Amino acid sequence: MAFTNPCGGLRWDMQDDGLIAVEGEGTPAFDPGSLRFKQMEQTWANWAGLILDAASANGIPPAWILAIMCQETGLWSDDPAEQAAKVSYDGGVGLMQITHPSLGSPKDMLDPEANIAAGTGLLAKLSRTRNGQLPEIAANYNAGGVRCGASGNPWGMVMTGDYVGNVIRWNNAAVMYLDMSPRGGGKLLAGIALGAAGLYAAAVIAGFAMMPRWLRR
């Protein structure tokens, strides 16, 4: 295996089957039946059609999109409307917690389809600059760049907590246990959730407009 890590920390290998091996750990993944796995299953059920569409349009694996989305808003996956309308105190908006205004306005990012398209477009752009290495892409997505240094995690990259490790586990669990092939049911489920999200997001948009500007940057 060709293990790598530009920061010299815990190393990984991107495998041809979509799994990510971690040196000394095999292919870590969240266990079926665990809360994290259930959050992933529900997130996939909520947004499968939109994820597949965005993956196809941008030429990246749907498991990458799902992994980032689960890390960003999987905690709220049991309520699709709340998951889609999540606004964090650091300015992250929607399913993939879009923060940069160049990717879309906060109001637009409360639309699940627009949010997933924007987040996936960013992942595709980062993939080109980081040679398709999902751990680096994830660190960049979280911290706005791959920076090396003491950061309290085994990867040696500056980011929030074990962001990279969790994304690897989400990705591997999706590849191992989910049927991510295109199918009509995904679009139907996403459409139902989209309608619910629209009702919830209307109230959130009004509240978002009243937030202090420093919370909306």
Q: In this structure, is residue 7 part of a structural domain?
A: no
Structural domain count of the chain: 1
Q: In this structure, is residue 202 part of a structural domain?
A: yes
What average pLDDT does range 52-60 have in this prediction? 97
Q: In this structure, is residue 216 part of a structural domain?
A: no
Cα 125 to its chain centre, rounded Å, is 14
pTM above 0.95, yes or no: no
Q: In this structure, is residue 103 part of a structural domain?
A: yes
Instruction: Looking at 61-111, list the stretches that DSSP marks H as alpha helix, in order from N- to C-terminal side.
Output: 62-73, 80-84
CB within 8 Å of 26: residues ≥ 6 apart: none
Q: What residue numbers bound the domain in which 24 lies?
A: 12-210
Q: In this structure, is residue 129 part of a structural domain?
A: yes
Instruction: Name which of 29-38, 46-55, 189-198, 204-213 the model is least confident about.
Output: 204-213
* pLDDT value at 183 more than 60: yes
Q: In this structure, is residue 72 part of a structural domain?
A: yes
Q: In this structure, is residue 86 part of a structural domain?
A: yes
Tokens 């995904």 locate to: 186
Question: Residue 184's pLDDT is what?
Answer: 43
Question: Residue 207's pLDDT is what?
Answer: 41
pLDDT in tens, 61-105: 999 999 999 999 999 999 999 999 999 988 899 999 998 776 767
What average pLDDT does range 122-144 have in this prediction? 95
Q: In this structure, is residue 1 part of a structural domain?
A: no
> CATH number of the domain that 139 lies in?
1.10.530.10
